[in-house]
């Protein structure tokens, strides 16, 4: 029998020879050597399987595409449900900001609206329902621009709700009481601390940066207001 074709020898690297081929291979060192070379090639190829490589594309590129596809949830929503993630801190910051903001708003808004009174209690429930409804729709963000637009609308609604709620307020403290401003400053300090921690953890996060800057700005404004409310013989040197 003549030498098998090279492609047949390649097949015999992991295939069964016919009787005639087996007889030839047992006596032909050239063909036996060829098959041995093919088996080494197979071994090398198999070892290739376990060879790992650096990623072909970086995460930022994939994440951007995933966001466009809606496969990555809005950061704020993700943080609120990521139970064991370090983003807890930032979620907590958001809660503190909201709660603090409501408390401060309820205390301070009489200044904004004077003696305006609210219409009726059911209206409060309606406003709350609208807020909940707005929160639910956040899940449908499709772009950053849309998210910012919703955020701006929510801020406007928040301010309006606070104005309305202030009319329901039974707190008896008057706006000129410096204690209000001191309480507000303390709250803003706490908010600024928490949001600053969050910003340090994710310096590129625009939402947390915004909350931090807002808190610092509001604190400065409150500090100025407190200075104006102090008796003339008292000078505010710090807080």
Under the rule (CB under 8 A), what is the footprint of another protein? Answer: 6-11, 13, 29-30, 33-34, 37-38, 40-42, 44-49, 51-57, 59, 61-63, 65-66, 69-73, 75, 77-78, 81-82, 85, 87
Residue 16: HSE in the Cβ half-sphere, 13 Å Cα cutoff: 2
Whose Cβ is closer to another protein: residue 26's or residue 125's?
A: 26
With respect to another protein, which residue has the nearer C-beta, 24 or 73?
73
Which residue, 85 or 130, has its beta carbon nearer to another protein? 85
Answer whether 202's CB lies under 8 Å from 75's CB. no
Kindly tell me which of 16 and 48 has the beta carbon lying closer to another protein.
48
Question: Residue 36 CB, nearest distance to another protein (Å)?
Answer: 8
- Smallest separation (angstroms) from another protein to the CB of 134: 20
CB of residue 94 to another protein, shortest distance in Å:
17
For the chain, how many residues are written?
239
Residue matched to tokens 């008057």: 174
Q: Which of 206, 235, 205, 225 is nearest to 107 (CA)?
A: 225
Alpha helices in the chain (DSSP H): 6-11, 19-27, 29-49, 59-68, 75-81, 88-113, 121-137, 144-168, 178-201, 206-229
């Amino acid at each position: 029998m003549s030498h098998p074709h090279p492609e047949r020898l390649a097949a015999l690297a992991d295939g069964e020879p016919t009787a005639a081929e087996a007889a030839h291979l047992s006596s032909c060192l050239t063909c036996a050597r060829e098959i041995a070379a093919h088996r080494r090639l197979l071994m090398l190829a198999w070892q290739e399987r376990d060879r790992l490589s650096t990623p072909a594309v970086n995460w930022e590129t994939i994440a951007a595409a995933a966001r466009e596809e809606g496969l990555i949830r809005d950061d704020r929503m993700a943080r609120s449900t990521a139970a064991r993630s370090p983003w807890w801190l930032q979620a907590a910051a958001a809660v503190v900001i909201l709660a603090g903001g409501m408390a401060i708003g309820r205390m301070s808004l009489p200044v904004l609206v004077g003696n305006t009174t609210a219409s009726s209690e059911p209206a409060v429930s309606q406003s709350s329902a609208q807020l909940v409804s707005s929160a639910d729709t956040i899940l449908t963000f499709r772009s950053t621009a849309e998210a910012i637009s919703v955020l701006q609308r929510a801020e406007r609604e928040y301010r309006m709700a606070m104005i309305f709620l202030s009319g329901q307020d039974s707190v008896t403290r008057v706006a000129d009481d410096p204690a209000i401003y001191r309480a507000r400053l303390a709250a803003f300090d706490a908010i600024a601390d928490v949001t600053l921690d969050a910003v340090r953890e994710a310096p590129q996060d625009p939402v947390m940066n915004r909350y931090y800057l807002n808190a610092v700005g509001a604190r400065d404004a409150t500090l100025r207001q407190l200075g104006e409310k102090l008796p003339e013989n008292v000078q505010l040197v710090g807080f």
